[in-house]
Amino acid sequence: MAFAGGAAWVSNYTDGTVSLQAKINNKYVTATSNGAGPLVANATTIGTAQKFIWASPSAIMVLRARANKKIVTTPNGGANALIASIAGTTQGGNAEQFDMIDLGGQLVTFRAHSNKKFVTSASRTSALVANATSTGATQKFYYYHYGDGSVLFQSATTGYLVQTPNNGNSALIANYDPTDELPPATLFDYVPIKVG
């Protein structure tokens, strides 16, 4: 992506950061003096001082499970596992709304509005819970559009798809083998409340 003023951003797919490359000299922008100094386009390679977080506003959204047509919620102020159990609403409240933050490279993370924590998929035997104060490997999900307008999410750490087991009556868990045929339990409708 090019910016007015002659810079372009380069996505660093391994960690979700971006780097800026100046058009005038093709060098990468550096945060000098550990971020205390000015930004200067002086680097020929990308290191820590040349990595930035793309801080565009995240999308506020809810997820509706295809398995039971209910909205995913974070019960008990986010302390309990995510479950698709809210019917009869299109936007939900704080317990149902998430910031979906684009990390680049088809990776996203979800921050629950109920407790301002990130959704974690610790293992393929653990339900998804909004319990992390920062984003690490277990808070990252690959985001895919399915052909029927729905979306699906794959845990970046386990490689398994997020599903709503037992027709949506059990907590969300990333344990569905992506090589199998996709059932409705793995599909969600992305419902934007506010974008940017």
Q: What residues does 132 pair with on adjacent strands? A: 118
Looking at 11, 31, 50, which one is the last position of a domain? 50
pLDDT tens profile 11-38: 554 565 778 888 889 999 999 998 899 9
Q: Is the dihedral of CA 17, 47, 39, 36 positive or negative?
A: positive
Looking at 50, 69, 89, which one is the last position of a domain? 50
- Per-residue pLDDT band for 5 (boundaries 50, 70, 90) equals very low
* Same domain assignment for residues 65 and 111: yes
* Same domain assignment for residues 78 and 165: yes
* Same domain assignment for residues 45 and 85: no
| Higher per-residue pLDDT: 6 or 31 | 31
**CA nearest 113: which of 170, 171, 62?**
62
Domain that holds residue 19: 2-50
Looking at 50, 69, 86, which one is the last position of a domain? 50
* Same domain assignment for residues 110 and 158: yes
* Same domain assignment for residues 26 and 92: no
* Same domain assignment for residues 128 and 185: yes
* Same domain assignment for residues 38 and 72: no
pLDDT of residue 8: 58
Has residue 72 got a pLDDT over 80?
A: yes
pLDDT of residue 13: 47
* Same domain assignment for residues 94 and 44: no
Angle in degrees, CA 89, 106, 90, rounded to 5: 5
Has residue 9 got a pLDDT over 60?
A: no
Q: What percent of the chain has pLDDT over 70?
A: 88
* Same domain assignment for residues 135 and 182: yes
CATH code for position 169 = 2.80.10.50
* Same domain assignment for residues 83 and 113: yes
| Higher per-residue pLDDT: 191 or 81 | 81
* Same domain assignment for residues 88 and 112: yes
Has residue 1 got a pLDDT over 60?
A: no
* Same domain assignment for residues 128 and 167: yes
- Per-residue pLDDT band for 7 (boundaries 50, 70, 90) equals low
Mean pLDDT, the chain, rounded, equals: 87
Domain count, the chain: 2
Q: Where are the alpha helices (DSSP H) in 56-126?
A: none
